[in-house]
Homo-oligomer: A and B are copies of this chain.
Amino acid sequence: LDAILQEYEKEEKRAPVAVILGHHPAFFLSCCCLTPFGNNDYQTAAAFLGEPLGLTPSESWGENFLVPADAEIVIEGEVPPGVRETQNPFGEILGYYQAPCEMPVIEVTAITHRRSAIMQDIFPGHTDHWNLGGMPKEGSVFNVIQRNVPGVRAVHLPPSGCGRLSCYIAIEKRFDNEPQKAAMAAFVEMPNLKLAIVVDSDVDVFDEREVLWAVNTRTWWDRDLQVLDRVQSFRGWLGSSVALIDATVPEGGSYPERNGIPEEALARIGVEGILGKEVG
Q: Which residues of A contact B (CB under 8 A)?
A: 89, 91-92, 94-99, 123-127, 130, 147-148, 158-162, 165-166, 175-181, 184-185, 187-189, 191, 194-195, 208-213, 215-217, 219-223, 225-233, 237-244, 246, 253-260, 278-280
Task: Give the residue name and chain of the B residue nearest to A194 (CB).
Answer: B216
Q: Are B280 and A231 in contact (CB under 8 A)?
A: no
Measured in the bound complex, the distance between the Cα atoms of B124 and A246 in whole Å is 26
Q: Are B166 and A216 in contact (CB under 8 A)?
A: yes
Q: Are A258 and B95 in contact (CB under 8 A)?
A: yes
Cβ-defined partner of A195 (8 Å) among B89, B95, B148, B216: B216
Task: Give the residue name and chain of the B residue nearest to A174 (CB).
Answer: B233
Task: Give the residue name and chain of the B residue nearest to A259 (CB).
Answer: B91
Please name 4 further chain A to chain B contacts, defined as beta carbons within 8 Å, in addition to the given A184-B187, A221-B243, sorted by A numbering: A148-B191, A160-B209, A195-B216, A237-B254
Return the 7 tightest CB-CB contacts between A and B, nearest first: A220-B239, A91-B259, A160-B212, A96-B256, A222-B241, A175-B233, A165-B216
7 A-B pairs with CB atoms under 8 Å apart are A127-B278, A127-B280, A176-B240, A177-B233, A184-B188, A225-B227, A228-B228
Cβ-defined partner of A221 (8 Å) among B124, B239, B259: B239
Q: Are B258 and A96 in contact (CB under 8 A)?
A: yes
Cβ-defined partner of A180 (8 Å) among B98, B178, B228, B256: B228
A234 to chain B, nearest CB (A): 9
Indicate whether A126 sits within 8 Å of B96 (C-beta atoms), given known contacts A212-B161, A216-B161: no
Most B CB atoms within 10 A — which of A89, A178, A231? A231
Measured in the bound complex, the distance between the Cα atoms of B95 and A82 in whole Å is 50
Measured in the bound complex, the distance between the Cα atoms of B279 and A159 in whole Å is 10
Q: Which residues of B contact A161 (CB under 8 A)?
A: 212-213, 216
Q: Which residues of B contact A241 (CB under 8 A)?
A: 220-223
A67 to chain B, nearest CB (A): 29
Task: Give the residue name and chain of the B residue nearest to A260 (CB).
Answer: B91
Q: Are A230 and B246 in contact (CB under 8 A)?
A: yes
A137 to chain B, nearest CB (A): 14
Q: Are A95 and B213 in contact (CB under 8 A)?
A: yes
Measured in the bound complex, the distance between the Cα atoms of B228 and A98 in whole Å is 34
Q: Are A253 and B225 in contact (CB under 8 A)?
A: no
Q: Which residues of B contact A216 (CB under 8 A)?
A: 160-162, 165-166, 194-195
Q: Are A256 and B98 in contact (CB under 8 A)?
A: yes
Task: Give the residue name and chain of the B residue nearest to A217 (CB).
Answer: B94
Q: Are B189 and A230 in contact (CB under 8 A)?
A: no
